[in-house]
């Protein structure tokens, strides 16, 4: 089984506007229209069996609507390859009640994006969210590193993430983008930390909206392999960040990286199945 542990979709009525707006703001190419149907078609082409959706609550008042939409996805696509995390904002009213509700409804975890949410990951509000999620044994997927939408903002920098991990020892934290999108030198401090990391867009290619390669550079192959082996392949998850990369290209880059068959098997599905409780 191949599991893409880092993808995004939007409700059909919102998807074209949301994806086009984000692509324009960050001058980055998008590879689908952001709908669930487009993601399933992409998965079929790439040979991916399941995908985890990672909704981001950018404003506290969106919490209810985003989680209702995520619940609808889980109900509609149960057993059909899609499973959504829930969402919560650091300023959401009564976050403990929100997370308890998500856990009761079978959500496997939540997504936090400090830059889009406007709160540093080591802020007490985010620390509290991760503490609550840990108590509920929920996955916490966290954007790690910089973001083309917010150049220069360090709210999810590896040094801040290290502070969070020191405060909250939770084995189901996932640091996206190999623990530090585009901040590869600083991210090395997190390789080996007690958490998972995902491969989302780390290997590239990164393209602008016009299709040309971005001047920013993805992780080179040698560093990627070193990162996986330093961290431990048993705690690395395949992610594409679709629609911001092509799932097939992401798979090809991972398979061509020089990792062993056993390492690839763990990253492509074994680790994700274990984390989701799908083993056995």
For the chain, what is the HEC assignment? CCEEEEECCCCCCCHHHHHHHHHHHHCCCCCCCCCHHHHHHHHHHHCCCEEEECCCCCCHHHHHHHHHHHHHHHHHCCCCCEEECEECCCCCCCHHHHHHHHHHCCCCEEEECHHHHCCCCCCHHHHHHHHHHHHCCCEEEECCECCCCCCCCCCCCHHHHHHHHHHCCCCCEEECHHHCECCHHHHHHHCCCCCEEECCCCCCCCECCCCCECCCCCCCHHHHHHHHHHHCHHHEECCCCECCCCHHHHHHHHHCCCCCHHHHHHHHHHHHHHHHCCCC
Query: How does residue 280 score in pLDDT terms, banded at 50, 70 and 90?
Result: low
Q: Report the pLDDT averaged over residues 139-166.
A: 96
Q: Report the pLDDT averaged over residues 140-162.
A: 96
Q: Report the pLDDT averaged over residues 151-175.
A: 96
pLDDT of residue 59: 97
Q: Residue 269: pLDDT above 70?
A: yes
* Range with the poorest average pLDDT among 124-128, 201-205, 234-238: 201-205
Assign domain 3-276 one CATH number from 3.40.190.10, 3.10.450.50, 3.40.309.10, 3.20.20.140: 3.20.20.140
Query: How does residue 214 score in pLDDT terms, banded at 50, 70 and 90?
Result: confident
pLDDT of residue 276: 96
User: pLDDT tens for residues 8-25?
Assistant: 999 998 998 999 999 999
Q: Residue 32: pLDDT above 90?
A: yes
Q: Residue 158: pLDDT above 60?
A: yes
What rounded mean pLDDT belongs to the chain?
A: 95
Q: What percent of the chain has pLDDT over 90?
A: 91
| pTM score | 0.97
Q: Residue 77: pLDDT above 60?
A: yes
Q: Report the pLDDT averaged over residues 120-126.
A: 98
Q: Report the pLDDT averaged over residues 146-165.
A: 95
Q: Report the pLDDT averaged over residues 82-90.
A: 98
pLDDT of residue 142: 98
């Amino acid at each position: 089984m191949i599991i893409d542990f880092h993808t995004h979709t939007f409700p059909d009525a919102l998807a074209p506007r949301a994806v086009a707006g984000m692509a324009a703001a960050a001058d980055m190419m998008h590879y689908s229209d952001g709908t669930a149907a487009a993601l399933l078609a992409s998965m079929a082409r790439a040979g991916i069996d399941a995908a985890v959706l990672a909704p981001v609550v950018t404003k506290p008042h969106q919490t209810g609507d985003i989680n209702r939409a995520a619940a609808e996805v889980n109900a509609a696509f149960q057993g059909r390859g899609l499973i959504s995390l829930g969402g919560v904002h650091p300023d959401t009213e009564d976050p403990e009640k929100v997370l308890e509700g998500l856990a009761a409804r079978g959500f496997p975890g939540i997504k936090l994006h400090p830059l889009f949410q406007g709160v540093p990951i080591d802020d007490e509000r985010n620390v509290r969210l991760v503490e609550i999620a840990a108590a509920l044994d929920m996955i916490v997927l966290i954007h790690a590193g910089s973001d083309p939408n917010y150049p220069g903002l360090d709210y999810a920098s590896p040094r801040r993430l290290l502070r969070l991990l020191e405060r909250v020892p939770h084995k189901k934290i996932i640091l996206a983008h190999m623990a530090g999108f585009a901040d590869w030198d600083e991210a090395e401090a997190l390789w080996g930390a007690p958490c998972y990391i995902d491969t989302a867009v780390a290997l590239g290619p990164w393209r602008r909206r016009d299709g040309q390669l971005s001047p920013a550079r993805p992780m080179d192959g040698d560093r990627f392999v070193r990162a996986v082996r330093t961290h431990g392949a048993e705690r690395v998850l395949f992610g594409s960040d679709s629609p911001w990369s092509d799932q097939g290209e992401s798979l090809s880059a991972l398979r061509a990286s020089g990792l062993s068959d056993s390492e690839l098997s763990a990253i492509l599905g074994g680790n994700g199945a274990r984390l989701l409780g799908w083993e056995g």
